[in-house]
Structure 1
Amino acid sequence: MRERERTGNSMPIEQLLSSLSRSEFSGDVAGDAGSRTVFSTDNSIYQVRPAAVIFPKNAHDISTVVEQAHALKITVTARGGGTGTNGQSLNTGVLIDTSRHMNQIEELDISAGSVTVQPGVVLSQLNQFLEPHGYFFPPTVSTASRATIGGMVATDASGKGSRIFGKTSDYIESMQVVLSDGSVSTIKTLDFAEATEIAKQENLIGHAYCEVLRVVAQNAAEIDKTFPQMNRGLTGYNLKNIVGADNRIRLSYLLAGSEGTLAITTSITLKILKRPALRALVPIRYEHFQTALEDVQHLLKANPSAVEIIDDKVLSLAQQDPVWNSIESVLGKGSSVKVGGLNFVEFLADDEMQLSAQLDRLVDLLNGGQNEFIDWTIVTDPHLISELWSLREKSVGLLGRLSPTKQGTAFVEDAAVPPERLPGFVREFREILDAHGVTYGMYGHADVGCLHVRPALNMRDKGDAALIRPISDEVAKLAKKYGGLLWGEHGRGFRGEYSPFFFGPVLYRELCKIKGAFDPLNLFNPGKLAAPDGETIDKIDNVPLRGQIDRSIASDLAKTYDRAVACNGNGACFNWDKADPMCPSYKVTRDRSQSPKGRAALLREWARLESIKRHGESNTDLPAIEQALHASFSTCLSCKACSSQCPIKVDIPAMKSTFLHRYYADRRRPLRHIIVAHSESAFQIARRLPFVANAAQSIFSSIGADRLIGLIDLPRIRPASHSKPLGPRDLTRLTALSADDKARTVILLEDTFTSTFDGKVVDATVDLLGQLGYTVWRAAPKSNGKAAHVLGKLDVFEKIARAAVAHQSQLIKTGVPVVGIEPVTTLMQDHEYKAFRPDVALDRSVLSIEEFLHQEIRSGAIAPKVIDGPNSRYALFLHCMEKTSKPATSSLWTSVLKTFGMTAQTIATGCCGMAGMFGHEIEHAGMSDELFQMSWARKLGDGSGDIPLMTGFSCRCQTERITKTKPQHPVQALLRVLKDMPDQRCIIACNMNNNLVAI
């Protein structure tokens, strides 16, 4: 803690930042309270705020920062994906974040079987790049979508498949690093003579080599005795593998796992392997978790690439996650007994014969009578295998929802023992947790003896927080008793105090000397792993806990912003894939404050400071944090991906609305807020007088008035044919219909935006339903309040929501199916309306058009007999809200279209960038365009020739705005195909009529 207190002084930091601004440093610097707050947490229980965050663009930038920090004696800590579970990259002083800019793949050398990357490259980014070449980087982690290669090197990461493929350190060919004095060195495999020559140099790298060679030479017997003979051996200063069997020196084994305490990596050359052509996954279900554990050694006789295990708690939580829709057919099969454990057994092969032989071996073992399982299934479909593995990857996040008030908490989550001793270890581990009265979830790499265990704790509760020390101590002793380690995968971080216990006093002293040789001033990530003479490492009791800091949040604010408080920092919102819907503002900016995790961190800090203010205490950070939070919310597109895709369900749009409502309670709102919040009412008039409205808009734009209020590129008004409001007599008529008539009748719930700006879609829907034999009653569009909710005008939203729900309830009570076109409208009843006012929530959903059509097709009410479908192929672009909130939408649409002989493929995309009014707001136009180019433009211009179909109004509006082409809604394509079919090609299982009633 002494180091953190010393470097917390603002004067040297100000000197450093000022000096960088005058140097050739080309990166970004952030010393504001908001940025420092965002980078004060990772995926651990700890919270340590840095003095500044620096985002280098190249190796020279890092060298410059370190050299100047060395002169000022400022500590420096490198940070990658921020997914560490033990505070590995948390510290005071300066943080160097390589993920924003240093994320390039520099060189691929197929002939050498290697690739060179910058440290900020994400694992899934690398493997996606390698896939077309037939290669992959084998070490796998569950956070592959956001874990950086630099971070994986820092912790010597490994995961699924490590029994066969090993750890990150096994693939390092060479590393370029910056040492603690700012000097640059290349670390690669050396002959003993070459290493000895370097050790003679009178510089920092020379002293480091000299000390390392001495330590491994003088302590060979102690090293051999201390390092366990297991796949998950001692990481962090791995002395055992520095000198290979060939007597060559590989210092990369020392640096990998050293968590940035010895050097900072700027470039890594990695070995890559040929990607196996085939794989199969065999999920095996068991009645008891312990039985599943005990079966692992038997399953390993089939020599699979991996055996992963999950318990019943993870399986139960998975059933509440979107992933369950795609895997229920395998894992949700009926069973007479409750499933208590699950083993995933994976095989990799280069051809069908090899894969078949491997599966035959497993089947023989399973049929041999030694296994006490419920059942097993062989899965060979690549997509389904990926979906099943995504469940395993989500386990860590799912356990964040283990209890309404407690979360699965990481602090003893990666203990490892020899795999044959795992059942006994787990049995005693459970006894420890049971004795402390905590619930927990378990999952992990059973084949290598590494199990992830997360006790459910409320870290804001002092009693729960006090359990960290005794449980940690007891598990450390238990792991050693079984010949294992407290840390088998995720590195040590603030658990470095246990290093002497596992390394022993002799080797630990040598580790400290190695640290001193590399970093004599203790400037690199101090307090972790080892310390030079005269310095100490931190103890877990002395590091600030996030829950301890969050205790200051008033109970009402903690309840209002409970999802921000619950955010455990798993970082799923940092997903690298541009086609992943979460989170668009982060993807386009690479700014972590513009992500759900960053916004949650700012919200917690704002709520804490606001709570302190209530007690009359002043805090100079409150205004800065409040403005940082407001600025971060301004770039949130309210796409709601985080509300379903985040494992913890951190619903940022909902909390944003609540915050903005409070924020503007005593501030003047921009004129644009007033206009947009009430725009739906104005559109009712515009629909009746479209020519007048469009002319007024043109004049408005020509004089620049639109820019004065901050709205640009507003769409032209193209209304649907007129529909009038529903009256009591109409409701009575609908209610009085016979059951048969109701089955052939539809109430079309129009929405303001489609009916005002894309009326042809409404007319096409009416026509389509009529062609299919339904009498269509049109409910004139009413305000849905979405814009008011996004802006935090909750008083306006409440009035609109009450009216909308009352209106929809009247329609639903008629017993006639109510169908909507626009996803935003149909989804609001289950989200904004229900969350804001549960007392007025609908008791029955409005159906989306695809839900209705699919339902009618399945029931036989619509039964087209298609002889030949159209020659055209279609590309289906879904609205991001329905894609994340209702994943089944894709299969519903493709099934409906297929029924009419139409071949459609759902295109994986991120957000289009429009998001209601976001793309029209002048300050966000650039970001909106970038988002469209990032994902949508590339997929639209892929040259496939497929006809694009888009379900969302915003998506069609954005596409037309940027590409100057008018995309179709799926109903328009369906209608065209239906009308083109000769009578003999399409027979509808009902009388064809085309009835329309406007209501």
Structure 2
Amino acid sequence: MTVPAPKAPAPLTPTPDPTAPEPDLARAYEELRASLEGEVRFDEAARVLYATDASPYEIKPYGVVLPKTREDVRRTLEVARRYRLPVLPRGGGTSLAGQTVGRALVVDVSKYLDRVLAFDEAARTVTVEPGVVRDNLNLFLKPYKLQFTPDVSTTNRANIGGIVANNSAGTRSIKYGKAVDQVVAMTVLLADGTVTTFRDLDPDELQQKLRAPGLEGHIYRTTHRLVREHEAEIHARFPKVMRRVGGYNLDELTTGKPFNLAKLVAGSEGTLAFILDVTLKLFPIPAYKCLALLHFDTLEKSLRAVQHINRHGPAAVETLDDTLLELGLENPNLAPLLSWLQGRPAAVLMVEFDGESEAQMLAGLQSMQADPAVMELAYALHVAYGAQEQAEVWEVRKAGLGVFNTIKGAAKPTPFIEDAAIPPEHLAEYIPAVAAICAKHGVRMVSYGHASVGVIHVRPILDLKTREGLEAYRKISEETFALVRRFGGSWSGEHGDGLIRSYKNRELFGDTLYEAFRELKRAFDPEGLMNPGKIVDAPPITENLRYGEGYTVLPIATHFDFSKDDGFMGAIEMCTGVGACRKTTTGTMCPSYMVTRDEEHSTRGRANLLRDAMNGRLPGGLTSQEVYNALDLCLECKACKAECPSRVDMAKLKYEFLQHFYDDHGTPLSARALGHAAVVAPVGRFFAPLANALLPLAPVRWLMEKTAGIDRRRALPPYANASFHQWVRQREARREEERRALGAPAHAADKPKVALFADTWTMYNEPEVGVAATRVLEALGFEVEHVPYGCCGRPQISKGLLREARARARKNVAALHAYVARGVPVVGLEPSCVTAFQDDYRDLVPGEATEAVAAHVKMIDQFLAKAWTKGDLEPGRVFRKGERHIMLHGHCQQRAIQGTSSTKAVLGWVSPDVFEVDSGCCGMAGSFGYGHYDISMQIGERRLFPAVREHAGETVACGFSCRHQIRDGTGKRAKHLVELLAEALPESDGDSSRSVPSSEACAELP
């Protein structure tokens, strides 16, 4: 092929000088605001939110743009060029190497540029915008039995643009390869504003591109020349492992396949061009899968087995080490997913086999089972054939990164050498050698990852706030790099170069190729504005770290006990930045993010703002308005405590923050009004007929909105005509008369006792729930004591009135401990109250008595299910099993702290079909929905409301606020679990105590 001489190339300009004067940000901001449809934020809070990703680095950007259209992207780059602002494309921000942080204008595509643009079922291709989430894409493709295959552990929030720009791979790369292998074409925005498409070119088309004028033609000519000139060097220097993603993909252009610059932009980390859309190759979803779980008594044996397992055609081979397994067993959300463990292995290999037929799937499994080279190394094997069990095992694996961060202490597993790809036959030598390097520096390590392709994610446990930790960080990186080269591996296997590994690219690829990389970068990006400092011309590994020797934390005296979290700051720093809180299709965390799609309203965003407020980098400090604004939309659902693999408890952090904010700014009337619901409720019930008549009136609603912050569109729950206390007192008086008439003893000596704690809502708004609970417990053979009323303090905790909440908690602990001492179980009906006893009290009033109460108080379904499994109950003799189908909506805090398995089990006593809907948060969240009506209803409308409308049977919701929200959002009535149980009891023989009295004087109410 004859290639024309290139026209005068653009000058090779250096990376922007970090000492150059700052650009005119005020004018750039005004131009962007005036010309874009999307959002533009240059405020301090936004800069903090985008200063970090899942890597150890932190660099505040100049500002953030969230483009709504590709024209917004074009205009952003135009303004950036005019003011010499570097541009950093960003998706989910889950990068582990620091690709998505920098002193630049961050362009976040995740909120708006998330459409599927085209789908060709016959050709098995799809074209998407860069902000499409990988799981969302696969949900779209599922009806066609197709999938986009790079299955990264962050699959429920990782954007396609980031997956491609990072050249990600994931667990099944041994079968499907890396992202670059799935890229067919892409539309890109070049640095000069040119929009073009990169795709396979035939020889004639390539000739035309090589003659083209402008930047695009220069890019083609430079790239083509570099590939021709350095082909031999490319073959010689690029690591010979499939999982090589470091440097630029010049090797993709030496394969003899059609010339396609999309393959070069893939893996370029936003340093060459801005991806506007990408066309991807799709693969069929296998019809059959099984997961073999091989147990080993040493890590070394598991590594020796990998190369032998690979011979049998697995789709994936993943490793879990003993630390991950132990931490998983300590995590209440993950422990139930590890029931398959046999003994305490030092390592487990997860080996997946698949096929279009069951026989094809089993062939690989049986072949491996017959291989002594594998089976003689393992001491146990469990095979998961069911889809649910397999999904649970994969959930443990995907949680690995975050789970490791629950290790107590200042030192945490740190990503920096974790991405090396080693030929599998050398793993058993490489990993012990890395362990020896770490041990030499006095450091422990953890490991997990993609054994099939030699990518074992090794994480040394370091404290980067100390000089010793920083020195070990640098030395371990350098010494491990030498080890990787010795074994012929790749320094970057899937996580990319970024700020963490780019500094070794010259040494890895050699001067010739490194200079070719630099020339390529300058051809695409003459002014050096596209995500500078990554892949080439990178800073040292120890620059721009989030932590460091001079890292400081402002002192704070807390109301909650944070000692188990290494202090208030330690609780904040549990967040690793992996962004599990950014998922939108499943689970509960984070409800407000699912609606707003704003980083500020993710758990990660809130943690970032809190951290910078506490270390003095955010003006205004902890009690600044910026922190308040971010935490205001936290629903305190506690889902992060269960669904975040690091178990960040943002609800607890918010409670603590609010008290400090009030101390500095005053306590608003809305917080006092809603926080003292237990004071208001008895008064409202006393005037029930009048209150219930007035509360729905428009003037009253207007007044409530202006004074107490209760949205006028929200109807407050009506008060009962008589309280539950009144019913109990009337009933006991009547029974006492009957006993006296019959000369019967006051108590049945042969009946076990149980104490029923009635919450404020049961006491004054829905006493029928307390009545039903009493009837159910008695029908099951218990003598019911009613705990004297006292609010649990949940409203005060939620509103940050912690001093008052602590006083109330002390009284309740003293009162409830009397039942502990007597051995009388205490059961509650409202999940948020029970979780206050079980969870919040432990940190609000810590001590032995509190621990005893926390262990003693149960939700009624927890108590009944446990008694049933012990053989103390025979529900089949008590309840009629009907035909009604029951849909359960689990209360957020109940799911996070207690789980809902007991609820489903008990409901099974009265229904042949009980299922829990994956509805997320209802949106009411205690009093949240009163003051945030719009977002509250949007949260409910995402999944819960449609499910309730479509369900023809009964809907059960144990949370009072959940039932309220369901009624407001759908017009349907949800019931408490005990109401359905009571309805399934045999008809009473005229027992008038079943009904709630309509009226009675309330003078004696507490």
TM, length-normalised to structure 1: 0.91
Report the equivalent of 2:599: 592
Report the equivalent of 2:724: 721
> How many angstroms does 1:974 deviate by?
2.0
Q: Is the partner of 1:831 in helix, strand or coil?
A: helix
> How many angstroms does 1:414 deviate by?
0.8
* 1:476 and 2:493 correspond: no
Pair 1:158–1:743, CA change in 2 (3 A):
farther
Report if aligned partners of 2:825, 2:856 keep a CA contact under 8 Å in 1.
Answer: no
Which residues of 2 match residues 378-397 of structure 1 at below 5 A?
Answer: 378-397=383-402
1:704 to 691, 699, 702: 702
Report the equivalent of 1:615: none
Q: Which runs of 5+ in 1 are unaligned?
A: 531-535, 611-618, 983-992
Report if aligned partners of 2:241, 2:490 keep a CA contact under 8 Å in 1.
Answer: no
Q: Is the partner of 1:228 in helix, strand or coil?
A: coil
Report the equivalent of 2:208: 197
Report if aligned partners of 1:475, 1:486 keep a CA contact under 8 Å in 2.
Answer: no
Amino acid at match of 2:489: G
Pair 1:212–1:589, CA change in 2 (3 A):
same
Report the equivalent of 2:845: 837
Which residues of 2 match residues 74-223 of structure 1 at below 5 A?
Answer: 74-223=85-234
Pair 1:293–1:715, CA change in 2 (3 A):
same
> How many angstroms does 1:388 deviate by?
0.3
* 1:287 and 2:297 correspond: yes
> How many angstroms does 1:786 deviate by?
1.3
CA distance in 1, matches of 2:420, 2:621: 43
1:506 to 512, 515, 528: 512
CA distance in 2, matches of 1:385, 1:300: 20
Report the equivalent of 2:7: none
CA distance in 2, matches of 1:656, 1:538: 37
Report the equivalent of 1:665: 663
CA distance in 1, matches of 2:469, 2:552: 13
Report the equivalent of 2:904: 894
TM, length-normalised to structure 2: 0.91
CA distance in 2, matches of 1:222, 1:672: 70
Amino acid at match of 1:362: M
Amino acid at match of 2:889: F
Pair 1:742–1:101, CA change in 2 (3 A):
farther
CA distance in 2, matches of 1:780, 1:556: 34
Report the equivalent of 1:978: 985
Report the equivalent of 2:49: 38
Moved more, 898-907 or 864-873: 864-873
Amino acid at match of 1:157: S
Report the equivalent of 1:271: 281
Report if aligned partners of 2:759, 2:829 keep a CA contact under 8 Å in 1.
Answer: yes
Q: Is the partner of 2:795 in helix, strand or coil?
A: helix
* 1:537 and 2:538 correspond: yes
2:464 to 451, 459, 463: 459
Which residues of 2 match residues 895-934 of structure 1 at below 5 A?
Answer: 895-921=905-931, 924-934=932-942
CA distance in 2, matches of 1:373, 1:741: 57
Report if aligned partners of 2:880, 2:984 keep a CA contact under 8 Å in 1.
Answer: no
* 1:748 and 2:750 correspond: no
The alignment-based identity, stated in percent, is 31
Q: Is the partner of 1:190 in helix, strand or coil?
A: coil
Q: Is the partner of 2:187 in helix, strand or coil?
A: strand
CA distance in 2, matches of 1:243, 1:834: 63
* 1:5 and 2:18 correspond: yes
Which residues of 2 match residues 10-25 of structure 1 at below 5 A?
Answer: 11-23=23-35, 25=36
Report if aligned partners of 1:764, 1:975 keep a CA contact under 8 Å in 2.
Answer: yes
Moved more, 432-441 or 296-305: 296-305
Amino acid at match of 1:545: R
Report the equivalent of 2:423: 418
Report if aligned partners of 2:231, 2:254 keep a CA contact under 8 Å in 1.
Answer: no
Report if aligned partners of 1:529, 1:537 keep a CA contact under 8 Å in 2.
Answer: yes
> How many angstroms does 1:980 deviate by?
7.0
- The number of residue pairs the alignment matches comes to 954
Moved more, 592-601 or 47-56: 592-601
Report the equivalent of 1:237: 248
Q: Is the partner of 2:448 in helix, strand or coil?
A: strand
CA distance in 2, matches of 1:894, 1:163: 40
Which residues of 2 match residues 244-323 of structure 1 at below 5 A?
Answer: 244-246=255-257, 248-323=258-333
CA distance in 1, matches of 2:355, 2:927: 50
CA distance in 1, matches of 2:17, 2:824: 67
Report if aligned partners of 2:771, 2:994 keep a CA contact under 8 Å in 1.
Answer: no
* 1:372 and 2:383 correspond: no
Which residues of 2 match residues 553-702 of structure 1 at below 5 A?
Answer: 553-554=554-555, 559-577=567-585, 579-609=586-616, 621-622=619-620, 626-698=624-696, 701-702=699-700
Q: Is the partner of 1:453 in helix, strand or coil?
A: strand
Q: Is the partner of 2:515 in helix, strand or coil?
A: helix
Report if aligned partners of 1:8, 1:92 keep a CA contact under 8 Å in 2.
Answer: no
CA distance in 2, matches of 1:632, 1:434: 42
Deviations 1:540-559 (A, max 9, x none): 13334334564354486882
Report if aligned partners of 1:770, 1:995 keep a CA contact under 8 Å in 2.
Answer: no
2:77 to 66, 69, 72: 66
Pair 1:466–1:112, CA change in 2 (3 A):
same
Pair 1:810–1:417, CA change in 2 (3 A):
same
Moved more, 339-348 or 863-872: 863-872
Amino acid at match of 1:299: I
Report if aligned partners of 1:414, 1:488 keep a CA contact under 8 Å in 2.
Answer: yes
> How many angstroms does 1:879 deviate by?
0.4
Pair 1:181–1:549, CA change in 2 (3 A):
farther
CA distance in 2, matches of 1:703, 1:687: 18
> How many angstroms does 1:725 deviate by?
9.9
> How many angstroms does 1:18 deviate by?
1.2
Report if aligned partners of 2:890, 2:958 keep a CA contact under 8 Å in 1.
Answer: yes
CA distance in 2, matches of 1:394, 1:901: 35
> How many angstroms does 1:700 deviate by?
8.3
CA distance in 2, matches of 1:742, 1:215: 91
> How many angstroms does 1:591 deviate by?
1.0
Report the equivalent of 1:948: 955
CA distance in 2, matches of 1:20, 1:463: 44
Amino acid at match of 1:794: L
Report if aligned partners of 1:230, 1:418 keep a CA contact under 8 Å in 2.
Answer: yes
> How many angstroms does 1:741 deviate by?
4.5
Deviations 1:342-393 (A, max 9, x none): 1101111122222222222122125x78522221111111011001011110
CA distance in 2, matches of 1:316, 1:552: 31
* 1:935 and 2:943 correspond: yes
Report if aligned partners of 1:725, 1:780 keep a CA contact under 8 Å in 2.
Answer: no
Amino acid at match of 2:552: R
Pair 1:868–1:967, CA change in 2 (3 A):
closer
CA distance in 1, matches of 2:787, 2:880: 36
Deviations 1:891-945 (A, max 9, x none): 2222222234432011111111001111011xx110001001012112223x352
Report if aligned partners of 2:165, 2:269 keep a CA contact under 8 Å in 1.
Answer: yes
Amino acid at match of 1:195: L
Report the equivalent of 1:959: 966
Deviations 1:653-709 (A, max 9, x none): 211122221122132222112212222122133334422432453568537211112
CA distance in 1, matches of 2:248, 2:557: 47
CA distance in 2, matches of 1:868, 1:739: 28
CA distance in 2, matches of 1:488, 1:272: 22
Report the equivalent of 1:987: none
CA distance in 2, matches of 1:6, 1:151: 30
> How many angstroms does 1:8 deviate by?
7.3
Report if aligned partners of 1:476, 1:485 keep a CA contact under 8 Å in 2.
Answer: no
Report the equivalent of 2:364: 358
Q: Is the partner of 1:309 in helix, strand or coil?
A: strand
Report the equivalent of 1:809: 817
CA distance in 1, matches of 2:148, 2:480: 33
Report if aligned partners of 1:640, 1:653 keep a CA contact under 8 Å in 2.
Answer: yes
